[in-house]
Structure 1
Amino acid sequence: MIDFLNRNVFQPHPELLVFITVALGFLFGKLRYRTLALGAVTGCLVAGLLLGAQFEVTIDATVKNLFFTMSLFALGYKVGPQFFRGLKKDGLPQVVNAVVVCVTGLLVSWGFAAMLGYGPGLSAGLLGGALTQSAVIGVAQDAIGNLPGLSAAQTKNEENLVAIGYAVTYPLGTILCALLLANVLPKLYKRDLAAESARLAEELDAPGDDPDLSEGYYEVVLRAYRVERPDLAGRTIDD
């Protein structure tokens, strides 16, 4: 049955497997155990791992790069207004926190990669998955492609290992991060996570309760300016 679907359905039409993976990913993302849920991103990754192990389907490189770039664009487009608004409020602590997390994650990943004897591909995948940063994949694959002394086959193998390392470590990084943020840190700082989240969502105008199904529409933000010179009141810009 799997061979039949592989040869006659998914290989001629790989887009079917892509959309099936997304559908199953959203379904897996709804699974919840107490306060822990996978979410759509991790669910799609798990679905991709399961289906990819069963069906040999090659996705065109242009399609992969296009969808990867679109995901980065959508992420930046969504969090951009909230990012700059939050940066104005308490920018310095956010910058310091980001630097500490990035540097710590890089050093820990580098240490484990060196200890385990990983090459550049698995090392980059370990870093991206542990920090749950998909942008590492594109940057690492471009960097590996420019490494001197590697044959075309070695370069291709290392680029594939980036995705493998990322796919293995991303679910673990997501689950451990969720446990840390939901259970450990609120108790450590003695904060009510539900109340703090509701207050922050109201401040940032977060649309909807489900981040996977919320609308991408934001109301137009209007700005008003006070004219300090009375002689300019009532005049147009052309004047």
Structure 2
Amino acid sequence: MSTEQDIDFSSLPQVDQTARPPHQRRPRFDGDVSELPDRACWALQQLLTRRYISAESDRDLYTWVLEYRAQLSVRLSELDLLLRIVETAYAGEGVAFVEQARYESARGVKLLRREPLGTYDSILALHLAQMMRASGDQTVLISRDEVHALFSGVLNDTDRDTVTFTARIDAAIARLTGLEILRKSRDDDDSYTVSPVITAIMTASVINELQQQFELLLGGGSPSLPDDEDVTADA
């Protein structure tokens, strides 16, 4: 019989206390042959159908994206898509989104087709991004009247009619509210806070290009805005 002194404990295999117990994945539907866990599948679906996933408003989804980042990147690469994850300067404001890979291909098909931002949507996003970058870590609050004032110098021929012009700006506010870039204030329906996510999805190059287009709009010209996927490139 061996005594305690005869046993070399240093030679015993180490047990990984952090390892997860093996889990038998059940198919979610008839014909489901995915090798990814359910949470990774759900995160992938959201990445393909939404402009971005925010750590603040979608904590679970964002956590799953981080957890399965490597596997998701592989799946997206097979579709000529890139996974972008940007941590902002604001606590809890990380952002994950997908953009189209750019390379020359005779057979590749563009899969990322989102409804493009309109002229006024993009110009409003430009101003909000500039305001957020200038604010540091401070919350940016803007009223509906202040948004309209941002367009006060526009002289383009298309929207000289006051009613049409006002409606276009209101539509831009509604669009960016729907994208959760603008958030209605609880105390005032006509006041909004600007989400820091705007600094993550607007690159410096996109801001510069939009600024040039806005200056063209101020001069009465017709701007040619960048492609939608450029607006959601990583910061």
The reply to whether TM is greater than 0.5 is no
Q: Which has the higher contact order (CA 8 A, sep 6+)?
A: 2
Q: TM-score, with normalisation over the residues of structure 2? A: 0.26
Greater helix share, structure number: 1
Greater strand share, structure number: 2
Q: TM-score, with normalisation over the residues of structure 1? A: 0.25
Report the structure number with the largest CA radius of gyration: 2
